Amino acid sequence: MENKTWLSYWKKSLSDAQAADIDIDKFRHFEIENFNLETPVIEQIDSVNELIDFEETRINKKRGISNKNNNDWISLDFITVLIAPFKLVPVSERQIFLRDKKPKFPFWFYAKLDRVGNLAVPEETFPVFQRKFLEPLADEKTEFIFTSVENVDNATVPGKEKYDSYSEYLQYLNNVFALAVGKPIAVYSTDHLATINNAIVLLPDEDINAAFAIIQLYEKLLKAKDLPPLLNNFIQLHNNIKNEPLTVEELIDFNSLHLGQMGFEFPLSISQRKSLYTFLQSNDKVFAVNGPPGTGKTTLLQSIVANMVVEHALKGIHPPFILACSTNNQAVTNILDSFIKAKTAQGSLEGRWLPEITGYATYLPSNTKTANELKGINYKKLNGDGLFTKVENHTYLSQAKEFFLKSGNHHFQTEVLDIPEILRRIQKQIGAISSSIVKGGEKWKSYQQALKTFDSSYCQENLDRKKYFDSHETLDETNFEAEIAALIALEKEVVTYFREEPFFRKLFCFLGLKSALKSRTTELRVLLRNSLIQDSGEFIFKKSVILDKIDSKINEARSILKGIKEWKSWKQENNIKGNPPRNETAYWEKEYLKIEGLRRNDPEKSQANCFYDELDITLRHQAFQLALHYWEGRWILKLEEDLFSDNFAGRNDEKSRNRWQRQAMLTPCFVSTFYMAPRFFTSSRFLQKSDKGDSIFDNPPLTEFIDLLIVDEAGQVSPEIGIPTFSLARKAAIVGDIQQIEPVYNITNKMDIGNLKATGLVRDYDDLIFEKEYHPKGFLASTGSIMKMAQNACSYQEKGLAERGVLLIEHRRCFDEIISYCNMLAYGGLLKPLKGSGIGKTLFPPMYCIHVEAHSTTINNSRYNQPEADAIIGWLLKNKDVIEEKYNKKIEDVVGIITPFVGQKQTIYRALNAAGFDTARIKLGTVHALQGAERPIIIFSTVYGPGDAGTMFFDRDNKPNMLNVAVSRAQDNFIVFANSSILNKETRTPSGILAGYLTYERG
């Protein structure tokens, strides 16, 4: 089965990636002093056998065997180990400057080790360069750079699949090391760290690392008979279904699906609404949202969650269970903050009807997270600590019931209701809101039919069409009422005319006498003049014909009037003023009116001004408030029931699912990294008795338990990390941007191809399917991402967009001068900048370059530029007072500093400290430090001088990612400190394009 083959490949990739980030304290190991790399034998035989015995025992214990005398005991004669041939320790005079004073082991290689200490060529021959010491870096705490990912990739060229001897293998290792680091292993040294030739012999264990739960989940899935549907769907390589997302004209058809809205201050944007409604009406298991910077991804996610909360409450079914995941801590923090800070409208429904409960999300951290780190956050640890320990007990239950009853009775203006009755009434109110939203759509469609009748047959060429519409561009009933009265009067006049027509006129007309017919026609034309009965050339002036036409016109007018009145009556009942926009252009006209109102601080113009927007901040938000309290009441009843039964404790499948669903009644959304999610969503099942009689338990995953998996910043999640969690859910909404930061890949290209071949996904090393299919679709551990895979699996694609998925386009974070660069660089001009121009509103030009005449220096394989760092500090000191006065904040909370290199980050950090700035508060680092964050002023230190490098780091492969992220963090000012000669406007590189957007000042 191909999908299981992919799972095997990703599992192997993850195991290899974990080996590239080795913490020796977590692994069995021993140390060899004065290690000689060329010696093929290890003399510490006792230590060798202890390591082999440990691995032998571990393997057998996993099989439930602990007695060596058991016939099924597996004996090992050798193991595969990792060897670090040297370690680096801080020299004494540098220790005070380093935060991380531990020894460093940047380089490892594999070897087979037998019980007499002989070393042999292993199956995996490419050595391990610890990823945390390679640039580019995501870990802002790293202070030492060994080499770069690019250099390691370049070093993968030499080598062959098999080596005839251990000495030949060692020569290969030396060649790779020299290519990657620039010198042989034996003479390696670096500034500020001493090289000690003591080796570490370590037993790698895929279960004892940060990803052990992910690897265990892979193992469970590989053993399962069938894979869960969402997982199967997500890893299908070929997807031939392609649909366009909903248009503005189609929104009304699915408006009734949008029941709840978390926020009440601002409605959804146009692209958010089209994305949400496309998601709500779709039955697809995978839904991809392309979210460029500052386009409101979090608001869309809040809307999805709020809608599920209301929908499930209305149906009275289980609470929605939503898991939001990412590998990026900033993304996790952003989700948590948005669900903690979300407020509800004032009134009897405001806030929570439970004491000391805030927010709608619970964080699932590791047990090592401290109380200080988790302050102000709802959390639940694996050991049980957190929100639910605090509230799921008899004492809190008693307080909660009293608080809820008081709040519920206050809302319903009574004092006698019990909890079940409050829930019944809440559900009835939610139902009334849902019915009203449905009715609104129906009445608008009836009105649209009336408008169609008016345009197609009622409104004649000689009529002034504009007079029929009011100031809201809605048909005005007063005209139709007057015209119906006029038509009824005309009808009476026609009847009277024919009744009073002379006898001989009637006779002569009957006989067809032309003069008589002409006289009748002339008189009737006078009678019908200025009426709604049009005298066409073929008009027949007979009594029955004229009366039929009048009657038809009256019925048309009454039908139109009914559509108008019912629509306006619904609007009045629900306090809605605007109409649904008829098309994209009309919607944008409404949107620009609001934006103009906001810019001019005009409360009337800036308020919600159309049907959809008004529903968001009124009925839909009210429904969300009601649903919150519905689930609070359900939680009280469920907790009371479970506390008095054996359902409360225990970890079998039924009890685990019951506990999670009960807790989801309090916070519908749970937030986790991909590393922690598989640890939390398991149950316990008795497996067998060991040979000692001890019970052995299995921990099967809670597959297909989660109603919706949300992946945020999915462009930063590599496939092997994120894939297994999809097995826990039934549906997934994946949000990200492949034009921003990519995953930090821990797998080299050569390792990746080797794993593809080992699992049968390529036939040989010349098979180009990995370049033509696997790479562009995001499946590879060395180049892929969950976002690329989601795009491949999604069945929707916007016009003009190369990637699949819906697209958010309204940008509100940066001034137009700033985001216009990103729009040109990465998004083909599809974004709509809505903040306006920064000219006259900012202290400095929005896009600004300060020239620094300097070159970079390389130390410890990372660049720095001391004059550029000094110029930044000087500029900050010079402008500190005006910046703090404008923003009414400390400068450390206003300015963020981004640089491509760890060496420059450390240089700036030391300079900031020396100048008296609070470095604990200021955002300083590579782009990873600010991904998902923002600051009014962003300083970008380029570091390079002319001729310092062939291709600058932020221009590598002509990818927009680094500069796109750096620039789009700036709300008001993006200020570049650079030797301006490195910015060439004539080139089409990211920095060359940037050069054309900058205002230059020499400093």
Q: Is the dihedral of CA 521, 522, 527, 528 positive or negative?
A: positive
Q: Is the dihedral of CA 706, 712, 718, 721 positive or negative?
A: negative
Cα atoms in the Cβ-side hemisphere of radius 13 Å centred on 522: 6
**754-777 tens-digit pLDDT:** 889 889 999 887 788 888 999 999
Q: CA 398, CA 396: separation in Å to the nearest integer?
A: 5
Residues spanned by CATH 3.40.50.300 within the chain? 813-1000
CB 628 within 8 A of CB 314: no
Q: What percent of the chain has pLDDT over 90?
A: 61
Strand spans (E) along 345-391: 361-363
- Say what the pLDDT of residue 158 is: 45
813-1000: CATH architecture: 3-Layer(aba) Sandwich (3.40)
Short-list 297, 286, 426, 407, CA closest to 352 = 407
Q: What is the pTM for the complete model shown?
A: 0.86
**What number of other Cβ atoms are within 10 A of residue 694's Cβ?**
10
**136-161 tens-digit pLDDT:** 665 556 678 888 877 887 776 544 55
- Say what the pLDDT of residue 1002 is: 59
- Say what the pLDDT of residue 95 is: 46
User: What residues pair up with 686 in beta bridges, in sequence order?
Assistant: 697
CA angle 106, 107, 113 (to 5 degrees): 135
- Say what the pLDDT of residue 92 is: 63
CB 143 within 8 A of CB 191: no
Sort 508 into a burial class: Cβ within 10 Å, 0-12 / 13-18 / 19+.
Answer: middle
**14-71 tens-digit pLDDT:** 987 876 778 888 889 999 999 999 999 999 999 999 999 999 888 887 666 778 888 8
The values of phi and psi at residue 289, to 5°, are -120, 115
- Say what the pLDDT of residue 524 is: 79
DSSP 706-775: BSEEEESSGGG--HHHHGGGGGGBS-EEEEE-TTSPPP---S-HHHHHHHHHHTTSSSSTT-THIIIIIT
- Say what the pLDDT of residue 210 is: 66
What's the token pair of residue 339?
């669900």
Q: CA 976, CA 978: separation in Å to the nearest integer?
A: 6
- Say what the pLDDT of residue 31 is: 94
- Say what the pLDDT of residue 102 is: 83
Local mean pLDDT, 10-residue blocks, the chain (1003 residues): 90 82 85 92 94 89 77 88 93 54 89 94 84 69 77 65 84 91 90 89 71 89 95 94 96 97 94 98 96 94 97 97 86 82 89 94 86 87 91 96 96 94 97 97 94 83 76 84 88 86 84 84 80 70 83 90 94 95 94 88 87 96 97 97 89 93 97 94 77 70 97 95 97 96 85 87 84 94 96 94 94 96 95 94 95 87 90 96 96 94 91 93 85 88 86 86 95 95 91 94 64
**What number of other Cβ atoms are within 10 A of residue 314's Cβ?**
19
